[in-house]
Chain A
Amino acid sequence: MANFTLKVNGTTHQVEVEDDTPLLWVLRDHLNLVGTKFSCGIAQCGACTVHVNGNATFSCVTPVSSIGNSEVTTIEGLSQEGDHPVQKAWDEVDVAQCGYCQSGQIMTAAAFLEQNPSPTLEEIDNAMNRNICRCGTYHKIREAVALAAKTK
């Protein structure tokens, strides 16, 4: 067990966990930030996506010991009122079916648009291909990312 100081959503937290504990489980089991989802655990589906220093990151394979002073942002911290342009676009397009993968989808899209504010449709496809949606909401995900790019 070791002590880690983490900056998550602008707040500093102390946790005592094993070095190899993935950020995902620190967020979910220790900080009660359960908006970040567990699904595959091996960086294949993207349900666990968070931002580490603004980069979309699979938290399920990111050991807590690798975070250091980096700023972690989860879906709960993406915006104060749920009104980040990507969240608004998701609502406008009414993307979700079961909804379980959508926080990861939104985090991937938000980081992507930060780095590429005016993407082509092909760039959107490439960026969003890393997240799986088992319900098959892919058409709406693509539409919502394009809308967010237009409105942000």
Chain B
Amino acid sequence: MTMKTQTGTSRRDFLKIAGTTAGGLVIGFNWFSCDSPKMEVLSIEQVLAQAKPFNSFLSISPTGDVVIFSPNPELGQNIKTSFPMVVAEELEADWAKVRVAQANLDPEKFERQLTGGSGAMPHSWERLRKAGATAKAVLTQAAAQTWKVPASELTVSKGMISHEGSGKKGHFGEFVAVASTLTAPEEVTLKDKKDFTIIGTPVKNVDAKDIYTGKPMYGLDFQREGMQYAMVQRAPFGMKLVSVDDSAARAVAGVTNVVTFGSSVAVVGTTTWPLLKAKKLLKINYEPDGAVESTADHDRLFTELLASGNAEVKRKDGNVAAAFKAAAKVVTAEYQCPFLAHSPMEPENFFAHVQGDKVELVGPTQTPDRARQETAALLGIPPENVSVAITRLGGGFGRRLRADYVVEAVEVSKAINAPVKVTWSREDELTGGAYRPAVRYRFEAALDANGIMTGYKLKGVGMNAGNTTREGNFPSGAVDHLLIESVEHASTITTNAWRAPITNFLAYAEQSFLDEVALAAGKDPVDFRMELLNRAKTNPVGELGYDVDRMIGVVKMAKEKSNWGKNPSVKQGFSVYFSHKSYVAQVADIDMQGGVPTLKKITAVTDCGLVVNPTGANHQVRGGIVDGMGHAMYTNLTFEAGVPKQRNFDTYRLIRLKEVPEIDTHFVDSGFDPTGLGEPALPPTGGAIANAIFAATGRRLRSQPFIEQKEFSDLQLQIKRG
């Protein structure tokens, strides 16, 4: 059914056309190399030069071409394609006439201009629909006025407005001028979901052609006349700079300057290569400025703090002590994960040009407003004096939620009084901090004589992890007596959100431990989870942080799609997780034919509500699984005296093409509005694989990465697709 909705359109949103041109909105900076324009298709710049802005999200030119602005940074989650799809749907635009432009930071026009938490789509779904529907309503009104017919008699489809009675027909562009004299309606009608023609169809990445032909579009590609290049040497964790001898660095041809700020030393030059050489020639003396930590210290701290730490109680249901005292069986296990770097393929970089009390910033950021705020705070200038142009991001994974690398560029530009681009090397990226925190968990479960889980305890210790738990998550609500605690250690090693923060490891630990409990209870792992879910549904304990029916929905479908337990030669591992508003169940298949355990397939069932773009959704689920699997299997970051030992991809091992199994994806048609998918498919993967390895070999993997565990070393696990 259609729905009436308040537009919330304000005068600010709806720009009257008179005197405004939108030409400056899209390209606030110049790439050296530009597309050669093809005349049959107008470029965004050409369209905007004559286009009229309807609201923050779209402009339409008299030619009928539509430019839709995508406010959120694009890092591969495909938001630059899926957001405009939603606007175009309600506008009834012809997708072939739609151009998409990345909007610059503009808090006046856009809310929540950031990429993180898989939150863009749930936040903006209604807003995007209203933006499209409002423009359609105004265009329809303009056509009615032009043709002197009632607006109610008009139909709109594929960018054309038609009046059946008179046979009149015209494209959007023909009504732009009249539309500019009208005011947006207070209320618009949104489409019935069953009438969607763009949403739900596989729409290709709008930047595809530029990506496949090597057009400059990433921050690292940005150049400006007179721009200097810089690279920065940062202090080890827990250390501060005492003195620097930069004479050898300055002697490198192409190095023009060396500047120091805080404990960082920047080498500046006219191109990048001399800087990579010069940085290695810096002789810097550091001294301790806090705890100088190694991985051995973290292992000791985990043990100490689990035993005696000041735990913060995150959730307490029933009487845990009594439940464990009365238990027929108690299961206990500890799980641990290492620090991890984000390692986006495009290393951190940013362009900054400080000119008096004004700053121009260009580059890859997940949080352009944070870049602005931190720059303004550093220089003591008003935030509105800082402009931020958002380039395409070569990955982010949470690293670019921070603005540390932006502020560095501002520091250097200020120091040398010139425009500068700061580039990080891969070694800088892996040693530069803001990691996924290392965490250790201890679980305890109490089973009664019938194998019912009557008590559950989880205690997590994190290195700068904040809350190491998600206390509302399953199995909370399904156990009478439950205690969830978290202990924080203030490490000198810096941490940050990393794709699916906390849950990227917690889900693995929880879902593995539930398998251990199911085994102790003598129950099938899926049956055991269903028993708990049914308990949470019929007689929940305390508050539920998840929708039980939606979780049951993905569990049941995953069981069916994976042929759970049907093939004796295939050993399977199950995992189900709720995070970032979506539900994902996964089953890993290990084929034992020939006596060699072979990981062949992962089946994934996702409930993210309505799937906006099936291509993008498949990408995010498969990419999340590859990411979750790769880091669970292979990747480690360890420290010696405040310095990471893995400094590049030769030792910091990322998953490669030959190491991924077949991934079979399914989506539940739950009828809910869409939620984000950048993160939710990642958390369940480690658990599904570890549980399958246990089912196949009897080896329980309680630490990551798997390949470094003694339980894994002689398994000779093969990975094969198909």
Contact = CB atoms under 8 A, between A and B. Distances in A.
B657 A129 contact: yes
Nearest to A75: B214
B276 A102 contact: no
Contact of B626 (A78, A106, A138): A138
Residue in A74, A82, A91, A134 whose Cβ sees the most chain B Cβ within 10 Å: A134
A136 B627 contact: yes
B214 A76 contact: yes
A136 B626 contact: yes
Contacts of A47: 345
Main secondary structure of the interface of B (DSSP, over half): loop
A106 B214 CA distance: 10
How many interface residues does chain A have, given as a range?
35 or more
B656 A136 contact: no
Contacts of B277: 20
B657 A125 contact: yes
A98 B649 contact: no
Nearest to B430: A40
Interface string B331-358: 0000000000001111100000000000
Contact of B214 (A22, A35, A98, A133): A35
A75 B212 CA distance: 8
Interface in A77-104: 78-79, 82, 87, 90-91, 94, 96-103
B393 interface: yes
B220 A34 contact: yes
B396 to A, nearest CB: 8
B171 interface: no
A137 B394 contact: no
Contacts of A25: 271-273
A94 B345 contact: no
Nearest to A103: B214
Contact of B660 (A33, A38, A103, A136): A136
A20 B252 CA distance: 12
A134 B682 CA distance: 13
Contact of B273 (A18, A91, A129, A133): A18
Nearest to B207: A99
Contact of A82 (B209, B346, B619, B650): B209
Nearest to A79: B213
B680 interface: no
Contacts of B323: none
Contacts of B215: 35
B273 A137 contact: no
A139 B660 CA distance: 8
Given A75-B213, A96-B208, A134 B395 contact: yes
A34 B216 contact: yes
A28 B272 contact: yes
A40 B346 CA distance: 9
How many interface residues does chain B have, given as a range?
35 or more
B78 interface: yes
Nearest to A88: B212
B394 A99 contact: yes
A141 B212 CA distance: 13
B619 A132 contact: no
A99 B32 contact: no
Contacts of B253: 1, 18
Contacts of B394: 37, 98-101
B623 A132 contact: no
B615 A94 contact: yes
Interface string A105-120: 0100000000000000
B222 to A, nearest CB: 9
B659 to A, nearest CB: 8
A32 B33 contact: yes
Contacts of A146: none
Contact of B649 (A22, A44, A82, A102): A44
A45 interface: yes
Given A98-B76, A138-B660, A21 B273 contact: yes
Contacts of B654: 45, 132, 134
B649 A42 contact: yes
B657 A44 contact: no
B204 interface: yes
B426 interface: yes
A102 B627 CA distance: 17
B214 A41 contact: no
A36 B657 contact: no
A39 B392 contact: no
Contacts of B656: 129, 132, 138
A129 B659 CA distance: 9
Contact of B625 (A42, A136, A140): A136
A42 B648 contact: yes
A44 B346 contact: no
Contacts of B372: none
B179 interface: no
A137 B345 contact: no
B118 interface: no
A38 B33 CA distance: 18
B622 interface: yes
Contacts of A102: 211-212
A39 B345 contact: yes
B205 A44 contact: no
B658 interface: yes
A126 interface: yes
Interface in B356-407: 392-397
26 contacts: A18-B274, A34-B221, A35-B216, A37-B220, A40-B426, A41-B276, A45-B649, A74-B214, A75-B213, A91-B209, A96-B211, A96-B212, A98-B394, A100-B345, A103-B214, A125-B657, A125-B658, A133-B657, A135-B619, A135-B623, A136-B623, A136-B630, A136-B655, A137-B623, A138-B657, A142-B657
Given A90-B212, A96-B205, 11 more contacts: A17-B273, A28-B272, A32-B223, A34-B223, A38-B347, A90-B208, A97-B76, A97-B78, A99-B392, A134-B345, A138-B657
Interface of B: 32-33, 75-78, 202, 204-205, 207-209, 211-218, 220-221, 223, 229, 253-254, 271-274, 276-277, 343-347, 392-397, 423, 425-426, 615, 619, 622-627, 630, 648-650, 654-658, 660, 663
